[in-house]
Structure 1
Amino acid sequence: MSIDLTGKNALVTGGTRGIGRAVAHTLARAGASVTACYRSDEEAAAVLARELKEIGGDHTVVRADVSSPEDVAQLMEHCHARGGLDVVVNNAGVIGDQTLEELTLDEWHRVVTNDLTAVYLVVRGALGLLTEGASVVTIGSAAALRGLPGRSHYTAAKSGLIGFSRTLAKELGPKGIRVNVVAPGVIDTDEPPGQPSEQQRRLGSLIALRRLGRPDEVADVVLFLASDLARYVTGETVTVDGGF
């Protein structure tokens, strides 16, 4: 069964690399008009713009730091000019590795601001642009469900996305807007896929499917949640980790 998003406008934050890039490709191939935003990597942005042009359709790649209220306001003006939003995919984020003993307040704020507050800014900014039946999908992390040493700030922010999304599902449900989280496990974002490292082989041995995930496998779940096939799915966290 193919999913057709022709006539739908989609926003993908952090859309130029890894999972975000795969989501942008997948939504575009399904017929959506995609706006992808990025913070600083001009080369990756130019590559994505070329790739989306090759797929075909009306797509844009724009610079926006979604942790900045001013940048988000400009991003929403851009999306308004393109006819509103039917799909919002919150993918932009950062990661950090520090134990609590090492964790500084600045590092805590950096991760929480980029991984949690930025999603609040984007969704709140998009409220007036979301059409009836729109879908908001946020990329969380399976680590939020089990914890991960050295990443208390990261898992706290990703856990916060679950509560945030469940509450928004109840607030926005009467308007027909669905809000869900996709929680990936260990995803190999190398393009093209290379020879697995020793660490990747070790992690793969802990996964039921005995391999790491690929960005397109996360993107396919996002596509489902963005489509009418998931029209009665909201407030959910879908784990995509191969049975870790």
Structure 2
Amino acid sequence: MIDLSGKVVLVTGTGGVIGAGIARQFTRAGATVIHHRGREDGDLRTEARRVVDEAARQGLHAVVNCAGVQPVEPLPGMTTEQWQSVVDANLTAPFAVTQAAADHLPPGGSVTHIASIEGTHPAPGHAHYSAAKAALIMHARAAALEYGARGIRVNTVSPGLIARPAIESQWPEGVERWSKAAPLQRLGTPEDIGNACVFLASDLASWITGHDLVVDGGVTARPTW
């Protein structure tokens, strides 16, 4: 197990399944976790500075931007307001948190965005979500470029389909399709994503920045022809 004892990590979105899993894995690694439990990140768009400043009072070493939204809206009837709310939650808020955190992170500090494989493989009804996650991946690369001189690393983790309570009964056909398509033949767990985040925040990843770490059981390796 990676040892992050003495490190303080701010994790947003710990009220959600993935965010909670990320927080658990950091705690298991010995880190002190500062929770921002809101699952929807829109408030962080305007409150990022306050949230980060409060966390920084304990000495901030890493940030994981996990909070976000994933509504389903067909593109032909999507309103500007629906589009903007998803972009604000999944892109603008992580931008604001990252900008605020960079004022506190020491050399060797890190920021990890939770993106999605939909940032490169869009799904029907998720045009706003996929576009926001694609932009989030590029934001991390741009931030890695501009904050690298300060010794701050910025990366993304792109999950595939993650297990959550009752998903098998709510979407049995989707779970079956995923399990057949994934070389590892299972859904991911929140802990799978948490482990990736712990790694990226650790010294083992000290020369990794601007990278998108795909954690999807190999499903995107499946040929589509």
Tell whether 2:78 aligns with 1:79: no
TM-score, normalised to structure 2, is 0.91
Partners of 1:241 and 1:39 in 2: how far apart?
Answer: 25
Counterpart for residue 148 of structure 2: 173
User: How far apart are the structure 1 equivalents of 2:57 and 2:68?
Assistant: 25
Match of 2:115 in 1: 140
Any runs of at least 4 consecutive aligned residues in structure 1 with deviations exceeding 4 A, and if so which?
Answer: 193-196
Q: Give SS of 2:204's match.
A: helix
Calculate percent identity across the aligned residue pairs: 39
Aligned with 2:81: secondary structure?
Answer: helix
Q: Which amino acid aligns with 1:66?
A: L
Change (3 A) 1:64 1:111: closer
Matched, 1:183 2:158: yes
CA distance in 2, matches of 1:131, 1:216: 27
Q: Residue in 2 aligned with 1:160? A: 135
Task: Report the count of equivalent residues.
Answer: 218
> Which residue of the partner structure matches residue 65 of structure 1?
43
> For the Cα contact (< 8 Å) 1:99–1:151, is it kept in 2?
yes
Unaligned runs of 5+ in 2: 220-225
Structure 1 residue 80 displacement after superposition: 2.5
Corresponding residue for residue 111 of structure 1: 86
Counterparts of 2:38 and 2:161, CA distance in 1: 23
Shift of 1:189: 2.2
Counterpart position of 1:12: 11
- The AA in structure 2 aligned to 1:180 is N
TM-score normalised by the chain length of structure 1: 0.84
* Structure 1 residue 205 displacement after superposition: 1.0
Please report the RMSD computed on the Cα atoms of aligned residues, expressed in angstroms: 2.0
**Do the aligned residues in 2 keep the contact of 1:13 with 1:66 (CA within 8 Å)?**
no
In structure 1, the residue matched to 2:223 is none
